[in-house]
Amino acid sequence: MSKSHALSKVLALATLTLSTFFSATSMAKTYTHSLGEIEIDQVPQRVVVLGQGSLDLLDELGVEPVGLVKPLMPHFLSKYTADQYQSVGTLQEPNFEAIFMLKPDLIMLRVA
Task: Give me the pLDDT at residue 95, please.
Answer: 94
Is the pLDDT confidence value at 73 over 70?
yes
Nearest to 88, CA basis, from 70, 103, 76, 105: 70
Predicted model pTM = 0.67
Residue 88 lies in domain: 3-109
Q: What is the dihedral of CA 61, 64, 66, 70, to 10 degrees?
A: 80
Residue % of the chain over a pLDDT of 70: 74
CATH number for the domain spanning 40: value is 3.40.50.1980
Q: What is the count of structural domains for the chain?
A: 1
pLDDT tens-digit readout, 19-66: 555 555 556 888 887 888 888 777 788 999 998 888 888 888 888 999
